[in-house]
Structure 1
Amino acid sequence: MKKSDFRFDLPVELIAQEPLAERSASRLLVLDAQARTRADRRLNELPDLLAPGDLLVFNDTRVLPARLHGRKASGGMVEILLERVTGAHEAIAQMRASKKPKQGATIELADGSTIEVLGREGEFFRLRFAADEPLEKRLLQLGRMPLPPYIEREAGPADEARYQTVFAREPGAVAAPTAGLHFDAPLLDRLVAHGIEVGHITLHVGAGTFQPMRAERLDQHVMHREWLNVGAELVEKVRRTRARGGRVIAVGTTVVRALESATRNGALEPFAGETQIFIFPGYRFSSVDGLLTNFHLSESTLLMLVCAFAGREFVLAAYRHAVEQRYRFFSYGDAMLVLPRVTSP
């Protein structure tokens, strides 16, 4: 298959630039791939769209303020966007400057501390931060929230909270697991009261999630790496859900990638480590029965994952419907609930 097989037209005004006043006030396009139907609903109707005994799995990663500004020894300014943290004081990052720094160069931050450029990894730079304090603390002091490139404004104070899920607890991401942004405490309480169980995995979303595919053919694409942790507690919740005939509903493509990466010989197992899994049509899912996700960029690997889940033509037709109905797109936009099959006890 080719990336152009996943192209759709999107008016730029449908790209959400701000979050809604209430997290759970988003619209929700419900796709039933088995019945080949779709319905326009609201996100706050979700408890009525799921069944008691279902399991919602969230990504509890916490977004770091991963956008920094520094100065080269020559005096030139540098913008740094961390791709992922690789150690206590090291990270891989994208860098924007009039002239890219070379290996061994140093960059001074606003607090006077320095970053050493250790080398290159393709289009990314390997960086070492000063070891006088933890990297996370330095980011909290100096960094800004790394809003996606299609949000055409600087991050403001409101984004510090809204570009973060209410259940974020494991710091390490440089992009939000955006499907989780729709959930607030009252909605979570209603879901639990309805008999729906919740569980968590961790996948630290990297800035590579926004990188366009450069290969035209899907089988030539090399996926970026992301770190994940699927714990024994979540594995047991999935086992119990399946045993009682419930469905495992992934909240976001990151949860799908985590659960499928932790599946061995058809069985979900505890796993912590990196993944480069690339899911596109033809993939057979083992650990997920439903997906709640935002609308994704044209020709993106995230859209390809959704198409693998429910069928390319069906999903692209739903996207055209969403454009016609003026849904809001991308990180601060609306959502889809995709139910590809029914699980019977």
Structure 2
Amino acid sequence: MAEHLELTVPGPHGDRTVRVSSPGKIYFPERGITKRQVVEYYLAVATPLLAVLRDRPTTLKRFPDGVAGEPFYAKRVPKGAPEWVESVRITFPSGRAADEVCPTEPAVLAWAANLGTFDFHPWPVRRPDVDHPDELRVDLDPQPGTGFGDAVRVAGVLREVLAEAGLTGYPKTSGGRGVHVLVRIRQEWDFVQVRHAVIALAREVERRAPTEATTAWWKEERGERVFLDFNQAARDRTVASAWSVRGTPRATVSTPVTWDQLSTVDPDDFDVLTVPDWLAEHGDAHAEIDAEAFGLERLLEWYERDERDRGLGEMPYPPDYPKMPGEPPRVQPSRAKQAD
């Protein structure tokens, strides 16, 4: 087995040499997929993936020992990174700052894959303005007792609500049982406002499909429904990008699809071995996402309406966040009742 491999990767600034150590290392034992195959996969999908990642602060979810090992999130540029790995400074909710990887060319993808990166987790912002998102993301997360088909049905309701708000969403498989829907937006709103827009959107979906969809933050209240995870819109919360390999035994890939395809595909069919051919045959279903950036005025009007007329205001933030203005107590409902 070769100890290392040197790849020549063309890019906008000329060829880069990327060293791949232990290329034969098995990353996915169930499928026999090696590190080299993951690196080659990322080079095969570099064009659409860079359309997603370029100029975005990107957290690397690394599996240095393969899918069977313990992953970790690299939120800072790793030591020893080549000089052509660009970065951008971001600020966490705590107020601390860091320089995150900012992908700009195919060699960065291969370099990251050599470090054991499976998922790329981009922020919904682009430099130079990293405080105003240009993407609204809705994460439809099936709860125990539900699955991909349930997420697809709820996504259909979400599509209708988006249309009523004057927005166009682009769906993709999550690489697991869920669905992600992305909307390009103008960079006129901060993270708090975009999160409020997602909350309003999720509440409207829940009203229309109360037995299938939920916005309940506490797991004990969700039941067998699809959770619309509004906190994925909070600062420093991300979802795996389109074209990202996921840490599943099958090496599944989060794959863009059209709305028509969403109801016919099986997410397990999209993996490291099959997605390059799918891309060659079907193209990038999100190729037009940058054609128009939408406004959030209607969704923010809904948020204000819900607060004014229904008493539905702010929702809990993740537990590691500082206390936010107007936020309700972060107390699990069953524990609150016991305390009473």
- TM-score, normalization: structure 1? 0.24
Greater per-residue strand proportion: 1
Pick 1 or 2: higher relative contact order, CA cutoff 8 A, min separation 6: 1
By percentage of residues, which structure has more helix? 2
Q: TM-score, normalised by structure 2?
A: 0.25
